[in-house]
Amino acid sequence: MKIALICPSPPDLYAPGVRTLSAYLKKNHHQARLILLAGGTERLRFGGRFVYSYQRHIIDQVIELTRDVDLIGLSFMTQYFDRALQLTKELKQASRKPVVWGGIHPTLCPEEGIAYADMVCVGEGEEALLELMNRMEQGTDYFSTRNFWFRKNGQVVRNEVRPLVEDLDTLPFQDYEFGDQYVYDPLKDSIVPLTEKMFEALFSLAPDLDGRLKPCYNIMTSRGCPMNCAFCASSVLKNKLYSHKYVRYRSVENVMQELEQIKARFPSIRIIQFFDDILFSQSKEYIEQLSLEYKRRIGLPFYAQASVTTLTDEKLEYLLDAGLIWVEIGIQSGSDRINAIYRRTVSNSKVLEAANKLNCHKHKMLSPCYHVILDNPWETNEDVLSTLDLILSLPRPYWIKLSSLCLFPKTGVYEKAKQEGLLTNDLEQVYRKPFVYVAGSYLNYLVYLAGFCYFPRSFFRILASSGLVRLFQRDSSNLYFARLYKLTEVVRKGGRAVRALLRGDFGRLAQRIEFLMRARTNW
């Protein structure tokens, strides 16, 4: 039996969910075609928000690529809902092939998905999709397959959720066999077969210690997150869907085997990124073994994510010795009140303690990255100023990554907003809200500027004075600061280009231009 797995993917084509599904189905004697759609859309404005819609010729190509399959699967996140719905309607109109929705958004909202798709996969899909395809191929009844909701004779069949895969080592590595994989190429404005040469051009690029952008491979050693943040879908899965062990880990040997295969397959890879929600949540013994084996068998610089509560001197030292050069930590807010809403109880003093660990060691590293969330509907000016104050207290150098609070379905902040009447239209206020862009405002702009470590802190003390905040933090000024933010970003990126030219890093410039040309997509 053959399935087409369609995924609106990021520009670097890192799509671990569908790649693992594809590998699992192939291992169990089915066929899988991968169609990764990073782009190919046009952008229309409705109700003050941008809505993304696939162009007609892209839709026609997807229809053609699904003519010889038995089942069509779409895996997507919340912000891709419009595109998934458009594809589903077009595919169902063009053929009678059953369409199944899966991924994080359909898992959170199966009652919504089953209104449009023939089936919705709730939770992890490997074992469930294999059972479904086996039953369909054998011609037996499949409406009792666990993890699935079905539409049957005008009724909705809701099956229970099966236990999670406990032993992650039983799952195959991500599918990077390009015989039946397709990707949107913006240079040709067309869906084309994915070749190794094209894939290498679309690798995620990450800076090395020398400042040069280099191809990066993303890997996860675990599934699930130990945190319980009220803004994250992971907490919904853990608290409402799975009553048993949610966070699971691969063995060190299994991780090393994947990295060795990828390193041999793609010798151009120069950096590894551990994409686990929190690599540092692993035990000290696991981190020690991982570090020793990684240093001996892989030996490439790598990135990882940590949390304030899991970053310890011992774990950090092991990973630094193995080649760790960059760490991301979520601090989200400097306000105790806002962090309580987020169900994060770590004090600012603990944040600074963790930050000092990253800046006080003998190993050379890139500036650590701290994640901050803005645009919280419960946030006051004083809350944002507390966040600004925390950022300015961090040891330099550092990098700040901003995001706009998105009220993802079923999360704690979503339910709170619903109860308080702040959220009245999910489609407009959630599904079409880009969380990677913060709103224009004076205080948001100050937080953004605080990520530029070369500004003196006295400069911010003046800008954050009560008089200037009263003068500029108003709705009438928001458009001005939104434009100023964009202008500053242009200057910042231009400065990077100039620095690359001055040090003769022409390869970085050429590589970045090619990457942007190929990977540009309408968000």
Helices 475-502, 506-519: axis angle to 10 degrees equals 140
**Architecture in CATH for domain 203-519:** Alpha-Beta Horseshoe (3.80)
Angular region, 42: left φ>0, alpha ψ -120 to 50, beta rest: beta
* pLDDT value for 521: 43
* pLDDT value for 519: 44
pTM of the complete model beyond 0.85: yes
* pLDDT value for 7: 92
What residue spans define the domains of the chain?
Answer: 2-170, 203-519
**CATH class of this structure's domain 2-170:** alpha beta
Residue 338 near residue 381, CB atoms below 8 Å: no
CA-based nearest residue to 151, from 92, 99, 86, 90:
99
Q: pLDDT digit string (tens) for 386-415?
A: 999 999 999 999 999 999 999 999 999 999
Structure token pair of residue 293 = 């084996």
Phi, psi of 375 (to 5 degrees): 65, 40
Those residues of the chain that have pLDDT short of 50 are 515, 518-523
* pLDDT value for 491: 80
* pLDDT value for 309: 94
* pLDDT value for 9: 66
Please tell me what DSSP assigns to residue 301. Answer: -
* pLDDT value for 455: 86
